[in-house]
A and B are shown apart, each in its own frame.
Chain A
Amino acid sequence: MTVTTPAPNPARFIRADGPDKVTGSGRYTADLTLTGMLAAKFKYAGIAHGRITRLDTTAAKAIPGVFAVLTQADVPNVRFGPFVQDRTLFADGVVRFEAEIVAAVAAVDAATAQRAVDAIVVEYELLPVVNDPETALAADAPLVHTDWASYGASGALVRERNDASFSSIAKGDVERGMAEAAVVVRSRYDADGCHAAPIEPRAIVAQWEGDKVTIWTSTQVPYDARAGVCETLELPANRVRIIVPHLGGGFGGKCGFHFEAHIAALAKAARRPVRLLFSRREEFLAPDKRRESICYDFETGVSSDGRIVARRVTLVLDNGAYTADAGFFSQLGAMHALGPYRIPNLLAEAHLAYTNHQPSGSVRAPTAPQTCWALESHTDEVARAIGMDPVAFRQLNAVDTGLEGPTGQIYGEIGVQECIERAARMAGYGQQLPDDEAIGVAIGWWPSFAVPSGAYVKIDGDGSAQIITGAQECGTGSVMTLPQLAADELGMSAADFQLVYQDTSVAPYDMGATGSQTLFNNGRAVIAAAAQIAQQLRALAADHLEADPADIVLADGQAFVAGTPGRAVPIATLAGIAAGGELLIGHGSGMPPGPPPISGSTCVGDAGMAAWVAPQFSCHAVRVKLDRDTGVARIMHVAAAHDSGTIINPLGAEGQVQGGVLMGIGQALTEGTGYDNEAHQRTAGLLDYKLQTCADAPPIDIHFVQINTPNAGPRGAKGLAEAPNVATAAAIANAIAQLVGAPVRQLPMTAERVWDTLQEVAQNTIGGAA
């Protein structure tokens, strides 16, 4: 049954890494210094597409203080990539985006390294720039990768020329559905790309000792980074150690394998430790992680009573120059374009188009905020077309408990309908507003990712405990919540546990701070590991108290016999006993929940995204005020209702929603990556790529619809970190559309784009009157 709590209990949760962070004593990667350490700098292409006709590093190598200059000729000839092996560490004869790395330098200091970079001679034969994903799909478009057909790739991908991943989802008979619809609404939307923009620019330090390398790096995915180093430098996993000091935010931008191998190779060649520090500009241009731009053509048919009877949608996603983790984005984008709606007849087709842009990759809820923006803008158009209130339209058509989603997944207990009701109520939907204000509503969804994950737990002889986990803390506090899970299992307090984390040579595997999966999967691992120790403790206590192990209860730091609290022994005493015999060591992983069944739909290019484990739902309702003279919108209030299952850490959960919402506001209004005609980014700095400031942030009311979800994470929890970023921009769009009189069809909805739409509406009104 649904358990709804009015407000999270404000427990005084103090995150374990907090004192480090507020006192300045916590070390981030850029804070590390090793004796003899050199500075690394990259030589970037500077052009978007060209064949290297000359590459001469002689002058660079001759500069005093330069220890190593590397190009592709100096590293193993390995083509890599998680979905398509289309990439090499350094440009291999052709550069395909402006920040492709042509060479790397290690020198005594950053200034010398930069001089050496400037002394590297590269000449290019310019190749035609593929600057637009849609035209990239044309049969006669220049190829970004002429050898695409020979690349290794995941077997599920459907590839053709510049289309790196085609995916479709079909159900029912979309033609007949459209023919039977009372009204068919067609819409076109274009979303620009945008950036994760963590405040910490990435940093990497690499040091070799013998044939082993230690790499300190600001990654969200240490095991993935290790795998990339091993693959590209041809090393076994046990000779590469990845350590992540405190991580200064990621938001997906620090997922994937990036530059760790470059720095390791430099350190090996230079025989010295080497450190890379990115500038803000590099942080914008170089990582293969830009939120993908997508363009959408929607067509939705509704019956006269307001039910969706058919949807056809085509998406073209910008893959950029190389296929990073975007290989599954076409199917994921298609799922978001169908949305959490009941649709009997549908066809979604998505293409992932190579361009000469920075590679796309998983930025917080990849494909979701922009697709939700497009879909939910379209949904309001549909509701308007049949004269229905947009909230009522969603209540009528959204998925619900026991009902079937677009791919034929039948949902267990879910809270989407309650999210709609709660968000609308918190926003005061329906209230009388001034002429320049409106409330927009949007619903969103996001999967939980069930994957393997591991942890150890141990209790030492003095009764103090440690969790040694593969999980990665990127700021969300997920890792910081693990001690509570172990403590509850063992009848101890969270403060009894110290965390050891972010070191691949110490802890078992975890996928990393990605996919909102940390607590979902590693929580299961920690509980499993703690349960092993609990069993040991019960046996020890049973021995000590002369009772049956089944009767031993662990609570308040003690083991006692059920029903007779007087017969008790402190866990610390048992730990002391264990220290002389079988040690208290637990290891855990547990089986991830399996994928739910689907039926009735057909997927081409299936990347496993058609069925979602423990899907999360949200509804955001946003009140917007619009200055119609200038097109500038201001967000006055946000109401965010979320079904992310059981909330384990209320303070942390609120922080995720507040941060995700503000990121969504930025995506809605001020964050967008534009390209010039030569495919250079135009907004690669924080003055022109505008994050929301403290002065912009609106009040945000939050409600968690808490459902103890089966087949999910610990205690019925789902993921949470990405979901709050999904529906905000969409809700803002629907408020702006009301105020403008038409939707703004480009994201971000910059003031100028809003103003342009206002002008179009005015012209059409005049035209219509004439």
Chain B
Amino acid sequence: MSFTIARTVEDALAAIAAGARPIAGGTDLVVGARHGKAALPADLVAIDRIAGLDDITAGSAGLTLGANASHHAIEHHPVVAGSYSALADGSALVGSPATRHVGTIGGNVMNASPAMDTGAGLVVLGAEVELRSLHGTRRVPISELWSGPGRTIAQPEELCVAVHLPQPAANSGSAYLRLEYRRAMEIAVVGAAANVTLAADGTVAAVQVALSAVGPTIVSVMGLDTLVGSSVADAAEAAAAAASAQATPISDVRASDRYRRHTVGVMARRAVETAARRAAGETIAIPVNRTLGIGAAS
């Protein structure tokens, strides 16, 4: 049993190589342990005090989120909110204000919950995860990171140190929405993110859609290339149909598979519509759920 506080990434990597589990905010680990999901690991290395690991850096090459960037910081970062809105929409919905302060993007991504609120946004924005170990660094496209509920392809000695997002295309916009039964403290019943690029004539130049809580991992909706050139309304309808068709939801205490399959289409349609409005220059405040009242209309 050990608990060490890492001051540098190298400290953390050494501890991880020796068998320790990284802990940032710790919410998922501590709650999970108490609910008997998985015992608290015997050896822990706290990574929340590594200088600079919570930096959010925006530049011409895109956006880099240090793994320790909190949901609160992401939600309120002007560049994230303006140019990577789907991510900010998601971070702004995570848990409670306290959870958003403690919870980090690295922890969220590596926890690999299919219901995570940032995942679909990261997928449509083309994020890559930077995994580092004592042996080196690699970047993994985010949709390849998750191998199942709570599982990633990361090796035990690897630490997620950053999430990278490419510069969004001109005339693009993104949004993430989830179905929720109350306006806060929710877990997504289903969710959908869209990234839409508009052509000069207002038709769709590119569209990506990803879904949360309708499969073992975040679902990337396939086959949307055919929508290039179509109107936003047509693209939204087609995305909704594709989302419902490609979802593989389960039935549980929160919703039946049938209801999830339907509502994920609704969320996908609204995500495309909202992303397109943002692409056209409209300001729709973060998070879309509370601004437009998705699910529970405002």
Contact = CB atoms under 8 A, between A and B. Distances in A.
Interface string B165-201: 0000000000000011111110101000000000000
Contacts, number: 65
Given A688-B254, A752-B255, A755-B262, A630 B295 contact: yes
Contact of B181 (A625, A626, A629, A632): A632
A683 B181 CA distance: 14
B1 interface: no
Given A630-B263, A688-B253, A755-B259, A695 B183 contact: yes
Contact of B184 (A625, A629, A688, A693): A693
A675 B90 CA distance: 32
Nearest to B290: A695
A670 B181 contact: yes
B4 interface: no
A769 interface: no
B293 interface: yes
B120 interface: no
Contacts of B183: 634, 693, 695-696
B297 A687 contact: no
Contacts of A695: 182-184, 290
Given A436-B297, A625-B297, A751-B295, A693 B182 contact: yes
A518 interface: no
Interface in A672-702: 674, 682-683, 687-688, 690, 692-696
B253 A693 contact: no
Contact of A696 (B184, B256, B263): B184
Given A630-B295, A634-B296, A687 B182 contact: no
A638 interface: no
Nearest to A437: B297
Contacts of A669: 181
A630 B263 CA distance: 6
Interface in B233-266: 253-256, 259, 262-263, 266
A626 B262 CA distance: 17
Contacts of A632: 179-181, 295-297
Contacts of A625: 297
Nearest to A756: B259
A626 B297 contact: yes
A632 to B, nearest CB: 4
Interface residues of A, number: 27
B267 to A, nearest CB: 8
A543 interface: no
Contacts of B263: 629-630, 755
Contacts of A626: 297
Contacts of B253: 674, 682-683, 688
Interface string A619-633: 000000111011011
A627 B296 contact: yes
Contacts of B266: 629-630
A757 to B, nearest CB: 12
Residue among B189, B254, B290, B293 facing the most chain A CB atoms (10 A cut-off): B254
B2 interface: no
Contacts of A755: 259, 262-263
Contacts of B189: 751
Contacts of A207: none
A469 interface: no
B283 interface: no
Interface string B257-298: 001001100100000000000000000000000100111111
Contacts of A633: 296
B259 A752 contact: yes
Nearest to B181: A670
A695 B293 CA distance: 12
A31 B253 CA distance: 34
Given A674-B253, A751-B295, A630 B179 contact: yes
Interface in B117-135: none
Contacts of A682: 253
A750 interface: yes
A436 B255 CA distance: 23
A716 B297 CA distance: 43
29 contacts: A436-B297, A627-B293, A627-B294, A627-B295, A627-B296, A629-B263, A629-B266, A630-B179, A630-B295, A632-B180, A632-B181, A632-B296, A634-B183, A634-B297, A674-B253, A683-B253, A688-B253, A690-B181, A690-B185, A692-B182, A693-B184, A695-B184, A696-B183, A696-B184, A751-B181, A751-B295, A755-B262, A755-B263, A756-B259
Given A669-B181, A695-B290, 13 more contacts: A627-B297, A629-B263, A632-B295, A632-B297, A634-B183, A634-B296, A687-B187, A695-B183, A695-B184, A696-B182, A696-B183, A751-B189, A755-B262
Interface of B: 179-185, 187, 189, 253-256, 259, 262-263, 266, 290, 293-298
Interface of A: 436, 625-627, 629-630, 632-634, 669-670, 674, 682-683, 687-688, 690, 692-696, 750-752, 755-756
The 6 closest A-B pairs by CB, nearest first: A634-B296, A695-B183, A695-B184, A632-B295, A629-B266, A693-B184
